[in-house]
Structure formats: C-alpha cells, structure tokens
Structure 1
Amino acid sequence: MNVHLVNDEKFVNLSVKRFEQYYPGKNLFVVGVPKGHSGPLQHVAPHPRVKVLNFNSRNAEKKILEWAGGQEKINLFVHFLIPSKARVALRLQGSGRSVKTYWIFYGFGLYNLLEERGDYEVFDNKKPHSWQSVTLNWLKNAALSLLLRCNMFTVCEEFIQKLDYFCFWNHYDYQLLLRHFETDAKFRFFRYYEMPLQKAKPQAPKSKGTVFLNHSASASGNHDSLIRWLRPWVEKGEVNRVVAPLSYGSPQVAAEVCRQGEEELGSTFEPWLDFMPKEEYFSALNEISVAWFGHNRQEGASNIFFFLANGTKVFLRSNNNLLKLLKDKGYYVFELEEYVEKADAMDVMSMDEMMHNYQLVKQEFSQVAIDKSYQQLIER
C-alpha cells in the first residue's frame, strides 16, 4: 500500500493520476485539512483514492491505518514536509507495521529548516519577523506539542533522521541534506513530470528588451534585488518591459513588489496580478527573450524548464544549485551575478542555442524518463 500525505494543492490531481497509472489500486492519498473542515477541497478533485484528515488530530495515524486496512507493508510518501506530516509519519513508523518513508522533496521543507537554523541564506535582505508573529508561532507549536505529546519544534529533524528515501531530481539538494543532517536516507530520482512541452515554441520571435522576473509572489524570489539590478538597464533604454507574475503566492509580497517595481522601473513594470488561462499564459511566455530568477535556492523549476524549452535566455543566482545542475547537463544557462552588468546580457540567444536547450528538455521529459522515474521509485 502506498500512503501519500499531501496538501490541498493543484499538483495532487496529476500525482493521483500518475501513481494510479503505475501502481493501480495501491494508493491512498490523504489530504490535510484544518479542524472542522467540511465541503469540497479547493484544488484536489474527488477520487475514490482520496481521503481528507486533520493531520494535527491526536489519532490521525490510527485513521490512516484504518483506511489502509490490513496492509502490513506501507510505503509512506510525504509530499512537502511540514511538522504535522512529520509527526504522523513518525507515529506510523512506530505502529508495528513495516513502513518505508519517502520524502517527495519540494525545496521549502529543507531550505526553511536550514534558514531557521542559520545554516543557509534564502533571503538577500531578511526582514525580521514581528515579535507578535514570533510569539504566536511559538505558542502554537508549544500548544500542539502538549496536545499531541510530540515536540513540534524538532519533529521535522527527527523525521529526516529516520528517513529511508529522499526523492527528487536534483542530487545537489540531497548532498545539501547530508551535509547538515544525520540521516541514512538514500537518494531516489523522482519528479512529477508536468511539463507542457508541446506548448514551447523555441522558433517563435522573441521580444528583445523584455525581462521576466521570477515565477510568483514568493518572498524567496528576492524581487527587490532583481528590480534594483534592472533599473540601470531600463534607464539606458535596453529594457522596455519587465513582466512580474504575481497572481500566485503571498498577497503581501505581491503588493510590495508592485510598489517597488512601479517606483524603480516606472511604466516598464508590468505586474500580472490575475490568473491567466493556461493557453494564454504559455503563449505569452513564448515571447519572452530573457528571464531572471532571484532565488538563492531551487524554486520555480517548472517555469525554468519551460523557458529553456522555448528559447528564453535564463539567468539563475550563483548559489542556486539548479544552476550547477543545468550546466552539468549541458544547458545554455547563465549566472545572474556574473552577467548583470555585461553588455550582452539582454541579447537574444542564437537559434542553435535555443534548439540545443529544447532538445535537452525534450529528452529529460520524455515518456521513457517518466516511466523510469515512477517504476524505479518504490523499493521492491
């Protein structure tokens, strides 16, 4: 039995489809919901293999075991690590059943832990949390620790120590995990594989002077640094359009990015504040000549791979290990800090470079790659 602990996120529908395709009838998806939740989920569609549960309920693991029936062997997949899921996973490991744990890695879970410990700088200019928010968060974790008889402050680290498999497509994040945590977890290559490659048009005309900033209103995108670095290019007239997609993520971040963008970049700044239909969104991306991503960690990979496929010139931060991974694989991709003041930074890539990147993405997201990722994921 494959038990999946997930959030109410859009990607879960694809995950249900994929796992049922490769492991039919052997999956249980448990979607975390707040206490007292009723009615339909926001993103996850109804499915016979989907259940809902408050992960912070005291007997959450007993309910999961009840749904799993008499299955003695459980492959437990934690999609997106948060303390409530880590606690449930540890309780299931101690249930007497044979439980193997698989962390389906996103990025946030590991980097957030490291940032909180002072072991990694996610933000260029970290703003201190208000004492009210710090106190409220501490009280919440303290109350849950007492209620659930579990240290919610350290539960994620305990989960990592007992983890069996770290599942991701970037082995540099696995190496980062091993440098900072004591764990015997093994690496398993895995990705969800949602790549609309057929919508990528590397031969479509690119709009020179247009720069795309990040993929969402994420605080870790460091928009303030990108906007500051872009201002000289706008003043020289070499950048005439700066697109910032802000419909997804934090409304507070979106508001601050809009304020700074309009103040620093004037009429060239173009925030996308409303969700766009997929066809319209990908069509718009095909016109972009340059994309800057300000994250100091792996984030926004779906957009990055799409840009690589459609011939956009992609810039990543020097300490984002995705930059190193892509260079290892032979992609034409550029270090932002190195090129931010170079005269040719805004030049459109050659058609040969565009098609080279397109072929690499096509190979990486092929049906053969998808089959291999899912078929070799679970311990036999």
Structure 2
Amino acid sequence: MENLHIANTDKFVEPYIQFVNKYFDSRQHTFLIFESKDYGEFINEYNNVYYICKKKDFVKMIMKLNKSDHIYLHGLFDSRIVALLYLQPWLLRKCSWIVWGGDLYRYKEKINSLKGTLYEHMRKIVIKNIGRLLPIVKGDYFLAKKWYKFKNSYKVVKYINLERNEYINILKRKEATNKNTINIQVGNSATRSNNHFEAFDMLSKFINKNIKIYCPLSYGDMNYAREVKIQGRKIFGDNFIPMEQFMGIKTFIDHLNNIDVGVFNNDRQQGLGNISALLFLGKKVYLKPETTMWDFYSNDNLRIFDINQINESNFKKFIEYSNEHKQNNYKIMKDRFTDTNRIAIWEEVFNVSES
C-alpha cells in the first residue's frame, strides 16, 4: 500500500510527517514537498520526503500520482496540482483533500481575469469529484458541498505536533508567572482574512489601560503585514508588538502562555493551532460566531466569546474569565492534546484507504 502525500513546506506539515513516521509504517508513506517562500526546507531529513524543485521532479511526481494507491492533498493551493488533477480525472477517486481553510475559501475571492476564471473552473471540477474530504472543521465539509457540489464521503481529522503536545502539558503544570500587563493577541498571521484593522478599532477604547497587543505577522502577505504594523503602532504606540520572526514551537507556546485574551476576527477557518492552545492554557478567546470555527468549538461545549461583545464591554468585562470556564475548557481540550486521539483518527483514515 503506497500512500502519497502532496504538501508545501509548512509549520504544520513537518510535525505531521514526524507523527506519521513514528506511529505508522513509513515505508507505506511518501511525501512530495513543494518548498514555500515563508518556510524553506524542513529542519530534519527524512527517508520518505522528496522535494519538487525541477522539471524532472514533476515528471516523477506524475508517475507517482498514477502508481500510488492513495493520494493525500495537504491543502489545495498549488495551481500545478489542480491542473494535473483536472487533466487526469481518473486520479480524483483515490484523492483525499485535507482542507486547510484558505484553499476552500478561495471561492469567496473576487476574480478579475480570464486566467483566474479558468483556474476556478478547474478547481470546481476537481473538488466536486475528489474522492474524499478530510476537513479539520466539520463545517468546511458543508461549505464544500454548497460551493463546489462536493458529493463524496468525509471524515474530520486533526493535525498533530508531538513536540507541542508534550511541551504544552509540561507548561500547564507550571506555576503562572506574574505579569504587569494584560496581554492580548490579535489574529494568527499576515492575511487579510484576520481583519486586523476592525479588531484594532474594537480594542482602541482600551488604549489607556495597561495592555500590550501582540500580532503574529511572520507569514502570509508581507505587504499587508506592513500595513498592519503601521496601523497597530498608530493606534497603540509602543504597546503594539508585531511578531515578525518565525518562532520555534516551544518559544511560541511560551508566548501563548503569556497571553490573557485572544482576539480572532478571522472570517474563515484559520488559526486553529493558536486558538486550541489558548483554550487549553486557560485563556479567554473571542471569535466571530458566523464562522465554521465557532461551531467547531461551541459544539464541544467549550466556552468561547462572541467578538461583537467587545463593542459593548468595558475593560473589566472584556478580560473577565472565571476559573470555572478555564477548567471546563482545559478538561475538554486535554483529550485533543493527546497522541492517542490523533493516532485513532489517522488509523481510521489510512485503514479506509486500504479497503
């Protein structure tokens, strides 16, 4: 059984490779990787990872696509992959698409060119006929059905970071450090779907309070990141802290543990790693209620807050978060941060592929 994984170099993909190679037979899994500008090559070397860089690599990839028993598409962002699947429709039945969010929500983007129209036409054919959907958020399955007429089976999956899971559990058992400020994280990346400017407007009434605004901007649209940085500094001055360098997982978890409130004004599924870690660590999180993320968390009885409440809240109410809610969220999220939970999910995914 040969499982072929197609992905970009990304902070989520390398931990996933480590997870698969640790708990499953690595001889049955091959990873073909496109190098992304934001990330570069993976830190470690793997016997089953191959980079797609030259024309001859594409030829080998086409051969692999046809010879493999099952194909896992980790995100559907690359136009070359979409074109290859469109031109080889017989491959679609053995494809599983792990939906990342931005790849699905491209449907809502404005198209201003003939090239863009043709590309979206190819995407519609590919997505409609793809063999299986593996969304991280169940609501994205229903959007795929609505927008792209997707007609086959689905299963909700989870990505995993073994190092993160181990470290976050250690950190949870440590005593909290005393802080002099209320630390607020806004968004998860330099993408417009974070709607940073609207979030800044909501929070601007608290500029005279003892706050610091942290804003992750290390990946995404760097031109947009500069706009966010300028506006953040304009409103919050030195209390605005743009996070422009990529952090290792332990450093980033330390940062999240230092946050008091997470404000995610994202209008699509995005930033789940940040949000889940914050909930596990007992932090207050605001989300848009109309997103699939809202249902993803609230359906599990996690206590999250409507971002629109910020407009009506004074500072005390904005930061107020009971120990009861913290403990409730921790107990629910604890299961999500175990290897056992993820192993069972992916075991079922791979077993279905074999049948």
Matched, 1:110 2:119: no
List per-residue Cα deviations over 1:185-240 (Å, max 9, x = no partner): 21112111124332553862575632111122222111100111111122xx3352
Aligned length, in residue pairs: 340
How far is the alpha carbon of 1:172 from its aligned partner?
A: 0.8
Shift, 1:377, TM fit: 0.7
Tell me, yes or no, if structure 1 residue 80 matches structure 2 residue 82.
Answer: no
* Residue 131 of structure 1: aligned partner: none
1:262 aligns with 2:233: yes
Describe the superposition over 1:292-323 as per-residue Cα deviations: whole angstroms up to 9, x where unpaired: 01101110000000100111100011222211
Farther off after superposition, 328-337 or 214-223: 214-223
Q: Which has the higher Rg, Structure 1 or Structure 2? A: 1
Structure 2: 5+ residue stretches without partners: none
Q: How does 1:202-217 map to 2 (within 5 A)?
A: 204=176, 207=179, 209-217=182-190
Note the alpha carbon deviations across 1:321-342, whole angstroms, 9 max, x for none: 2112211101111010133322
In structure 2, the partner of 1:27 is 29
Relative distance call for 1:239 and 1:341 in structure 2 (3 A) is: farther
Q: Aligned pair 1:341/2:341, yes or no?
A: no
Q: Name the CA distance, whole Å, in 2 between partners of 1:52 and 1:350.
A: 48
Q: Cα distance, 1:269 vs. partner?
A: 1.6
| 1:290 to 2:289 alignment | no
**Helix, strand or coil: the match of 1:297?**
coil
Structure 1 unmatched ranges of 5 or more: 35-40, 118-133, 143-150
Other-structure match for 1:51: 50
Please say if 1:352 is aligned against 2:324: yes
Check whether the contact 2:100–2:136 (CA below 8 A) recurs between aligned residues: no
CA distance in 2, matches of 1:367, 1:265: 40
TM-score with structure 2 length normalisation? 0.85
When the two structures are superposed, what TM-score results if normalisation uses the length of structure 1? Answer: 0.80
What does residue 130 of structure 1 align with? none
Q: Is the 8 A contact 2:26 2:48 kept in 1?
A: no
Q: How has the CA–CA distance of structure 1 residues 25 and 221 changed in structure 2, closer, same or farther, with 3 Å as cutoff?
A: same
Answer whether contact 2:135 2:156 (CA < 8 A) is retained: yes
The C-alpha deviation readout for 1:269-294, integer Å capped at 9, x for no partner, is 22222334443332232122111011
Cα RMSD for the two superposed structures: 2.9
Q: CA deviation at 1:99?
A: 5.0
What residue number does 2:85 align with?
89
Q: In the superposition, relative to structure 1, how do residues 176 and 277 fare at CA in structure 2: closer, same or farther (>3 Å)?
A: closer
> In terms of mean alpha carbon deviation, does 265-274 or 352-361 score higher?
265-274
In the TM superposition, 1:101-250 aligns within 5 A as 101-116=95-110, 152-194=119-161, 195-196=164-165, 197-201=168-172, 204=176, 207=179, 209-234=182-207, 237-250=208-221
Q: 1:90 to 1:13 in 2, by over 3 A?
A: same
Separation of aligned partners in 2, 1:163 and 1:43: 28
> Which secondary structure state, in structure 2, belongs to the residue aligned with residue 217 of structure 1?
coil
CA distance in structure 1 between the aligned counterparts of 2:309 and 2:322, rounded to whole angstroms = 20
